Amino acid sequence: MFNTLALTAATIFFCLTNVLFSSETLATNDTQKAEDIHADTCPTVFYQLQLSFDASACHVFARTLPASITYHSNQPPKAVQLFFRQQIDTPFTQAFDHNRILLHLEGNHKIIVISPDGLGSQVDILINPS
C-alpha cells in the first residue's frame, strides 16, 4: 500500500525542483559558488543563507544555478522556521502545505521548505536564477 503523505511530499519536492531547473538563465554574481560545496560536508552558508548550526546529512543537488541543497536539523520545524525568519531581512511570503512550512524570498529567487523528519526537520533550499 502506498504512503500517501510520502508520495505527496515527493511530488511537491519534484515539482518545486522542476520549476527551478526549467530556467535557462544562469546567474553568476552570488558571493558563494556551489562548486565550493561538497555533498559529504555541510556548509555554513548556501547562496547567502545561513544554514542551521546543527545541519547534517547535507546533499547538494545542483552546483550551479538553479541550485538546491537538502539537510537534516535536530530542531523541530517551528524552531527552524524561527531561525530562518530571524536572518531574513527582505520581504518574504510564508505558506503551509501538507505539514510543511514554505518560505518564499526575493520573488521566489530563494525557496525554503521545512518538513518534519522524525524528531527534527528536513530543510530544502532552492535557489532560482534572478
Return mean pLDDT, the chain: 77
Give tens-digit pLDDT for 12-22. 454 444 434 43
Cell readout for 54 is 546543527
User: What pLDDT does 84 receive?
Assistant: 95
Helix (H) or strand (E) holding 69: strand 67-73
Q: Which of these, 65, 62, 24, 56, lies nearest to 123 by C-alpha position?
A: 56
In sequence order, the 6+-apart residues with CB closer than 8 A to the CB of 103 are: 81, 84, 85, 88, 92, 93, 94, 111, 112, 114
**Looking at the DSSP assignment, which residues form a beta bridge with residue 95?**
102
Amino acid occupying residue 62: A
User: What pLDDT does 40 receive?
Assistant: 56
pLDDT surpassing 60 at residue 126: yes
Parallel, antiparallel or unpaired: strands 67-73 and 120-127: antiparallel
Q: Which of these, 122, 130, 129, lies nearest to 10 by C-alpha position?
A: 122
| Angle in degrees, CA 33, 37, 39, rounded to 5 | 145
Confidence of residue 130 (pLDDT cuts 50, 70, 90): confident
Pseudo-torsion of CA 44, 46, 52, 53, nearest 10°? 0
Cell readout for 100 is 510543511
Give tens-digit pLDDT for 38-57. 445 799 999 999 999 999 99
Q: Which of these, 59, 61, 62, 74, lies nearest to 27 by C-alpha position?
A: 62
